[in-house]
Amino acid sequence: MAVARILDLHLHLMDRQVEDRDHRLVCKVDDLELEFDGLGRPYVIAILVGPRAVGPRLGGRLGRWFAAIAARLATPAELLVPRIDFAEVTDIGSAITIARRADELRVAPLEAWVDRHIIDRIPGSTHEGE
């Protein structure tokens, strides 16, 4: 059983990179899904990723624009905000490490497009030299 750890969500989790078990960058923490225990204390149950998760955090016209474009690009099977179960987190450090591989995760279509067409073209963005 995992040991409970008290975290400052903004300091330790929000906007951190998420890497898979092979240390490949997967995404960034755009928002968190919380639940409350029997005493009313919040705890994290999932990491939310993609423009539909960050849109409400941004607020205003830009946030609505992000969320609307992502929703238009989503297939009917992808209507929910992509999430990573917090039980899969194996380490919280400068990046958040999860137990699965990047190709096993369902990433938002817009984020996948940006990764494929922009990020992957940046020299040094992959771990090929390691």
Give per-residue pLDDT as tens, 55-82. Answer: 888 888 988 887 888 778 777 766 678 8
We find that the CATH architecture of domain 9-121 is Roll (2.30)
Name the E strands within 14-98.
17-19, 25-28, 31-36, 42-48, 83-85, 89-92, 96-98
Domain ranges (residues) in the chain:
9-121
Q: What confidence category does residue 2 fall into, taking pLDDT thresholds of 50, 70 and 90?
A: low
Give per-residue pLDDT as tens, 15-32. Answer: 899 999 999 888 889 899
Helix, strand, coil shares, percent, the chain, to 5: 35, 25, 40
